[in-house]
Each structure stands twice: as structure tokens, then as C-alpha cells.
Amino acid sequence: MSTVESFAAAPKVRFEQVSKRFGQGPDAVQALEPISLDIAEGEFTCLLGPSGCGKSTLLNLLAGFEQPTTGRVLMDGLPVRGPDPRRGVVFQQGALFTWMNVRDNVAFGPLATGRGKGEAARIAARYVEMVGLGAFATRYPYELSGGMQQRVGIARALANDPEILLMDEPFAALDAQTRELLQEEIRRIWQETRKTVLWITHSIDEALFLATHIVVMSARPGRIKASFRPSFSHSADPAVVASPEFVRMKAEIFGLLREEALTAQRQEGVR
């Protein structure tokens, strides 16, 4: 399957027959086959797939860091030409300014976009509190744990009030317990702000717990293999991960991903 059905309303984001090829000649790599995908406003979309399937490429195309080889990436019906503050990006590492404390890291974006110092400070205080770091506002990144640094990165992205949050495996480097706690935190923030989110992960559990829309991608060249519409992100009960429907859907997605992971492994073996 190469197309995901759009919602009745006009999509916030549209990938319109988008493909991506890196390099030229015999050494060129076809990262993505033509993909069409709609993301509705306020939707939490997770991309799942084996390494090298083009998940990050799709995110970078929407961020404006890359341009498609064919097709178009649209936001609110207009082509994405480059980076834009309406799209906030959070990477695997917090990428914080080491010489700034938590408060100043979060205030940097509002200041850079022309907000006054007082307004930027108020914005920073709001989002530092939102991610549970009010008591650490004057601490520096080296004084924080990895999970706390990721919270600062999320607060910094939110402080710019983007319309879309792009998250490239933001919890991948964290221990399991911290990761689970931050999953609950990011879900609470999403429920409060209703931002449109595109989230990359290798974790089926994480995708099911957070997403309203899961897109499973194939091995390279990436294409859409299947999509799911879980409802677990609306539950207030963390134990929903043990429910029969959660377990059933996890098993189905696992089967799809295992098949693609084996294909990706064979591809690596013939390089």
C-alpha cells in the first residue's frame, strides 16, 4: 500500500507522490519510492519501520532540510521550501546550548523571533513548568540527566509555538523507565496543546501508546506498507498497554515489521 486515506478535512500536511534519491549514477540510493500521506491538524502520527527505510528522510523533507526528488510536500496547501519556525524539530539528543541555563535555552527562540526579554522570560517559564523542570530553571545542561535534557529540548521547541512538532526518536537514548515516564509526559503535553506531531520511533509500544495514526514503512526504498488508527493515546490509564486490543495490535505490527527488518538485513548483506 502506498497511500494513506486522508481525513475529510483538508490535511495540515500532505506528502504528494514524494520520492527521494540520494547521489547520482550507479552509487545512487533510492531512499523513498513515491509516497502519498496526509496528516490532519492535531493528529499524532508515528512512523515505524526498519533502519534505513526513510523515516528520517520523510521528517527532514517536512522540516525543509531536504527537498524531494519527485512530488511535493505541502503544509496548509503550500509547498515546503525550507525550514520554518512553524515546524519545530526535536532530535535524539537535546542539542542544547551548553553555556545557557535551562530558562535561557527555552527563551532563546522567542528572543530570536523578536519577542521582548520580559515576554520571552514569561514564555520560557510557562514551558519549563509544563515539562516539570521549574525547580531546575537556572541549571545548566551538564547538571541535568539525559531525560531532563530531552525535556528542555521539548520545552524549547514548544516555546516557539510551532504548528507542527517533528520528533526524530527523541527518547531513543534513554533508559526504559525514564522513557516510559517521558512518554506519559509527552502525551499529556499533546493532549493539552493539540499540536500536530510527526514522531519517529522503533518502539511499537511507544507508537501505540502515543499515536492516533501509525504508519508502517517497508525496507528501502521506503514505501507505506500499512497504517493503523489506535485510540490508546486518549486513555488516562497507563495500564492500557496490557489490554487485549493493545496486545493484538502490537502483535500485528510486530509481524509486519519483522518481515521488513529481515528484508533490510538481506539488503545489508549484499552491499
> Whose CA is closest to 82, among 96, 62, 102?
62
Predicted confidence at residue 4, as pLDDT, reads 42
Average pLDDT over residues 93-120: 92
DSSP 232: G
Give the integer Cα–Cα distance in Å for 161 and 155: 10
**What Rg, from alpha-carbon coordinates, does the chain have?**
19
For 37, 95, 110, 151, 229, the CA distances from 146, given in Å and listed in that order, are 33, 11, 24, 9, 31
Q: How far is CA 128 from the centre of its chain?
A: 20
Q: How far is CA 256 from the centre of its chain?
A: 21
The C-alpha cell 545489508 sits at: 268
More confident site: 198 or 185: 198
Strand order in 164-168's β-sheet? 87-90, 164-168, 196-200, 44-48, 213-217, 224-228
Q: Using CA atoms of 228, 245, 182, 117 in order, give the dihedral in degrees to the nearest 10.
A: 50
| DSSP code string of 65-76 | SS--SEEEEEET
State which amino acid sits at residue 204: I
Look at residue 156 and tell me whether its pLDDT is greater than 90: yes
Predicted confidence at residue 1, as pLDDT, reads 40
DSSP 163: S
Average pLDDT over residues 218-243: 91
Predicted confidence at residue 172, as pLDDT, reads 86
* Burial classification of residue 270, based on how many CB atoms lie within 10 Å of its CB (0-12 exposed, 13-18 middle, 19 or more buried): exposed
Provide the grid cell at 177: 523507565
For 106, 151, 163, the CA distances from 86, given in Å and listed in that order, are 16, 20, 5
Mutual angle of helices 146-159 and 176-193, in 10-degree steps: 20
Provide the grid cell at 213: 495514526
What CATH number was assigned to the domain covering residues 40-86+165-271? Answer: 3.40.50.300
Look at residue 197 and tell me whether its pLDDT is greater than 70: yes
Average pLDDT over residues 223-252: 92
Residues 6+ apart with CB under 8 A from 88: 157, 158, 160, 162, 164, 165, 166
CB atoms inside a 10 Å sphere around CB 180: 17
Average pLDDT over residues 36-43: 97
Average pLDDT over residues 87-96: 83
Look at residue 257 and tell me whether its pLDDT is greater than 90: yes
Domain spans of the chain, in order of start: 40-86+165-271, 94-161
Look at residue 67 and tell me whether its pLDDT is greater than 60: yes
